[in-house]
Amino acid sequence: MLLLDKSAAPPPKVCGEYLSPGCLPILERIGALKSVWDAGGRPLYGMTIHTAARRTLEATYPRDSDVTGSPLHGLSVRRAVLDPMLLDRAVKDGAEFEPYFQVSDLVWEDGRVVGVQGRHRGRVTALRGRLTVGADGRNSVVARRVGSVTRHRWLDKVALVSYVTGAERAEDVGEIFLGHDRYCILNPIGPDLTNVGLVINRRDFTPTTDPTRFLLETAATLPGLRDRLADARPIGPVRCLGPLAYRGSQLAARGALLIGDAAGFLDPFTGEGLYTGLRSAELAVQCALPALCNGSAAHPDLRTYAAAWRREFLPKWRLCTLFQHAIRRPPLAEWLVAGLSRRPDLTTLLMAVVGDLIPAYTLTPLRLFPRLLTRARTFA
C-alpha cells in the first residue's frame, strides 16, 4: 500500500478534535489506542447542551455492558498528535509513505481507474495501482473525477475553530451552546486549553472579517457563553472552513472508492467526522480486500462498499438533519431538550447512537418523536 500526501506531515485541520466512544474499538483493533492515551487523550463522558432559553440537558454515554458497568466515554485529542500517530502506525504496519505528491487527476484504462497523476517534487508523475482510495478530504480529486460533489440544498454553514486559554469549561464532557441557527462547542483538550468551535450560516461571515475577533465576539452572544469566555485568549490562528455540508455522488467506481470526508460531510454537531473516517476505512478493507485477493478490483465488489457505506452512515445523517432543523428553529430545540430531560432512558439511547455505539437506525426521527410525544402527554 502506498500513501500519497502533498505535505511531509499531516496539515492542520479544522476539527472539534473529538473521538466518539465508537472510535475507541477501531483504534484498539489497529493497535493505536494506547498511543492515543499516552499522548494525552482526555476522556469525555457525554455532552451538555445549553439552549437559547437556558435549558440544560446533561447527556452521558451509557455504561459498559460488561461486569464492571463502567461509564463509556469518548476522547478529546489534538489532531496535531493524532494524525501523525496514525500515519506512523500505518507505516509500521507495512504501508509506504510518499510525501510532496499533489494528485491532480486519475489514470483511466478501459473505463476503470488504474492510478493517479500529479506533481511530485516539481515533476509530472503517474502512479498505477490496482485500487485507488480517495482519502483526500472535502476537496477530493478522486470524488470529482469518479462523479461529482453536491452541496446540501439548505444547510450552508461555515465553521471557525481555535484553541483558547482562560475559558471556563467542563472538564469531562463537551458542551454545546445553542443560538438561533448557530451554535458553539467547547471541548476540553488539555489543562487550560479548550477547542472552541463556532458554526454559523455562511452568509453571516465574510472572508474580510477578522476571524479571531469574530469568533470570540459572536460566541459571546450565545446565551450562557459571555461569562465563560470573558477571560479567553486565543492560542494560534483561527481556522475557517465552509461550506460544510456536501456529498460525493459516487462512492465507488471500477478501481476506486472514497473514504472519510472525501465521501461527504454533514455537520460537526454530533462529532461524526473522525468516526466516519476510521469506520469507512474499515469498511473499505472489508469490501475491497476479497477483490484484491482474487486478482481484481471489479465493479460489483466495490459497489458492495457503497452499499455498506450507506447502511452505516445514512441513518445517522438523517438523525443529524433533525438536529439541524432544531438549530434553525429554537422552539423545536427547546421542545426536544425539554422532552429528553424527562426521558433519561431515551437520552441514553440517543447518546449511544450519537456516540456510534449502536446503529443509528435504532433511533430514527420517526421513532424518536412518538416517544417524546407519548411522555409529553403523560406529563400534561
Q: Please compute the mean of the pLDDT values over residues 199-209 and round it to a whole number.
A: 88
Q: Please give the Cα distance from 128 to 136 (Å, whole number).
A: 17
Q: How confident is the model at residue 66 (pLDDT cuts 50, 70, 90)?
A: low
- Strands 149-151 and 246-248 turn out to be antiparallel
Ranking 50-64, 238-252, 290-304 by mean pLDDT, the lowest is 290-304
pLDDT at residue 380 in the model? 30
Q: Give the DSSP per-residue string, 114-179.
A: EEEEEEETTEEEEEE-S-EEE---TT-HHHHHHS-EEE-SS--EEEEEEEEES----SSSEEEEEE
- The whole-number pLDDT of residue 262 equals 96
State the pLDDT at residue 374.
63
> In which band, very low, low, confident or very high, does the pLDDT at 68 lie, cut at 50, 70 and 90?
low
Average of per-residue pLDDT values in the chain: 91
Greater confidence (67 vs 85) lies with: 85
| Higher per-residue pLDDT: 253 or 301 | 253
| pLDDT over 90 (residue 34) | yes
Cell numbers that stand for 154 in this block = 439548505
List domains and CATH numbers for the chain: 157-241 (3.30.9.100), 319-379 (no CATH)
Q: What is the DSSP code (8-state) at residue 295?
A: T
Q: Under DSSP, is residue 219 helix (H, G, I), strand (E, B) or coil?
A: helix
